[in-house]
Each structure stands twice: as C-alpha cells, then as structure tokens.
Chain A
Amino acid sequence: MSIDPRLAGAKRMLGNIKKIIPVMSSKGGVGKTIISVILALQLSRQGYKTGLLDLDINDPNTHIVLGIDLDKTFPEEKEGVIPPLTYGIRYMTIGYYTKNNPTPLRGEEVDDAIKEILAITKWGDLDYLIVDTPPGLGDEVLDTIEYLLDPRPVIVSTPSPLSRESVLKLISLIKNEGVKNYGVIYNMVRKQPELHDERVIGYVNYDESIDEVIGNPSEILKTKIAGDLEKLIPRIIKL
C-alpha cells in the first residue's frame, strides 16, 4: 500500500477557513487575476481575515498586481510556511519559490506542485480565501475543485460569445464534479449583455485605466473595476 500524506495535510491546513472562493475561467485574459486581487483587498478592508492564493503554477502573477518584489518577500517557516501579511492579506504564491523564472511543468507535476503548496501553507483562521486560478480545463481546475474544501467559485467571463461558450463548459464540468454554489461575473462589459441566467452575480464595466495602476493596490482600489466589484461583494460572500 502507498500513501500520499499531502492531501490529509492540505485538509488540516485549510481547515480553519470559513469560505474558499476560487476565481475561475476556462478562457484566458478575462481578468481573473485582477478580480482575485481586488476581491481580496476589499474583503480585507471590510474587516474580514482574508487570504489570497495564486494557484497559477506555470505563470503566477498576482504578485505583479500587488507590486510585490519576490526577491524581498519570503514566507516564514513555522510548522509549515506562513503566508506573509501583505496589504492586510495573507498572501501565498508559488512565485516565492520560482521567482520570476519560467517554470514549465507538465500535468502530473502541476498536480504535485499544487498538493505541495496546499500541504505546506499554514493559513490559520481566515474568513475568506480567494484563489486565483489559471485558464483552461486542466489540472489546476480539477485540483481546485477536488482539493479545496467546499469551494464556492466565482466564474469570470467577458460578454464575448467565445468566452461565454467556453465558460459554459467550465460550469458543466464543475457541476458534474459536485460544485453546487457558484456565480458568474461578466467582466470588461461595454454594453450590458442580455442574459437570463440566475447564476449571474453581476457586471464589471470595462476600465482601460487598470493597466496604469498595476502594482499599486491603493490606486487599484480607486478604479471603476474596484467600484463595480465592491457592489458585488455581498452576493459573492453569500455563495
């Protein structure tokens, strides 16, 4: 018999988190990372104990949005690793270990890296853990649903038919895997699409100014995107 103790370890490490909210989309470039970071910042500002986990194993970049220098920040090791407190958020990324170097991992290794990160990260008591995930329908998505405890995904799409069709596949997949509570945010909206989906949390308008404030959390929170998202928080935390 062979045992992998990491998943049992992961459950223990995630055990004191009240709600885990993965931000997911099968389509790339729809704004998952920006939305993840803003949600985490806003929840923290509202007084909730909040964590942010970057599960984009091949190309993590939440640290760029937060303006964190990976050469100067590193988690403390104490019966696991403790995510550093950054702008009020407990923040964890594989980037602490890979810095800004390319780290090409294939299927099984992505799964191994995710198990490892979940097993070593000591979150402590949190109200919310926001998880930024990469696009696609592969390992990270399956692991997010399988390994995180009772995940309540926020699914991000743009109004583009390409994105919406793609996201329908993701929704079908997560429902099939037993996820009951999820909601959809339409991002980069220029004209509100006509939709009749009860699962829509809301809309975030297109805001080209966001690129100018990447790396500056206090300015990010002043953008229209942040304003739109703030209105959706009551619905997100009820998922």
Chain B
Amino acid sequence: MLGELQNIDKDILKQYIDMVIKETDYSHLKIDYEIEKTLLKCRKCGYTWSLSDIELTEEEREMIHFLPEAIHTFSKCPKCGSKDIDILRGRGIKLRIW
C-alpha cells in the first residue's frame, strides 16, 4: 500500500522489487501494489478533503515526497483555513502479508 503523499512511482518500485525477489526463495510470492488516496481532516471544523482538491507546486510536492508531514506546512483546511489538520489516509508505505 503506497500512500499518495509519498508520491512513489508504483511501476518503478514494482520493477525493482521484481528484480530483487526473482533471485530469492520468495519469487513465487504475489505482490499487489495499491495507491492509498490521501484523506485530510480539519480538527477544528471537521471538513475532509483529498490531495486533488488542493493546489500544490512541484517543489511542495517534492518536499512532501521526502517528508509527508510537510503537508502541514503547505496545506490548510479549504473551509476554515486552520492548519490543525489530520492525515487520515495516504501517508507511508505499508506492507500487509496474508
């Protein structure tokens, strides 16, 4: 599960993992890659919004790619303007094993 805020290219990551895994005993494993869409919530007024609802410059996206918490720097609630926001979904990389 690739958080949208992380802005990682799914295909490139898959390519690399396929390359590494084929040399190992785990080459039979099936790996699914899924982008988790961002969901932000204002702690002050409760409004929720996604990354596609706001405008970010390329430089800001780059900062957020390195450090997803930088979304707090470059975004605020589109409704009330507060910077006290929660990232509900869309940060980090998670690996789930079944």
Contact = CB atoms under 8 A, between A and B. Distances in A.
Do these two chains interact?
yes
Given A112-B68, A116-B67, A99 B96 contact: no
B19 to A, nearest CB: 16
A64 interface: no
Given A98-B63, A104-B84, A109-B87, A2 B69 contact: no
Contacts, number: 57
A49 to B, nearest CB: 24
Nearest to B98: A1
Contacts of A105: 69, 72
Contacts of B67: 94, 97-98, 113, 116-117
Interface in A1-44: 1-5
Interface residues of B, number: 21
A70 to B, nearest CB: 11
A103 B70 contact: yes
B73 interface: yes
B13 to A, nearest CB: 13
Contact of B96 (A1, A57, A94, A109): A1
Interface in B83-98: 83-84, 86-87, 91-97
Contacts of B91: 112
Q: DSSP class of B's interface residues: helix, strand, loop or mixed?
A: mixed
Contacts of A112: 68-69, 91-92
Interface in A81-107: 81, 94, 96-99, 101-106
Contacts of A81: 66
Contacts of B64: 97
A99 B95 contact: no
A97 B72 contact: no
Given A97-B66, A117-B67, A103 B72 contact: yes
A104 B69 contact: no
A113 B64 CA distance: 11
7 tightest A-B CB contacts, nearest first: A113-B69, A97-B67, A98-B73, A97-B63, A101-B73, A103-B73, A97-B70
11 contacts: A1-B97, A3-B95, A5-B93, A96-B66, A97-B70, A97-B73, A103-B73, A113-B69, A116-B66, A116-B69, A120-B66
Interface of B: 63-64, 66-70, 72-74, 83-84, 86-87, 91-97
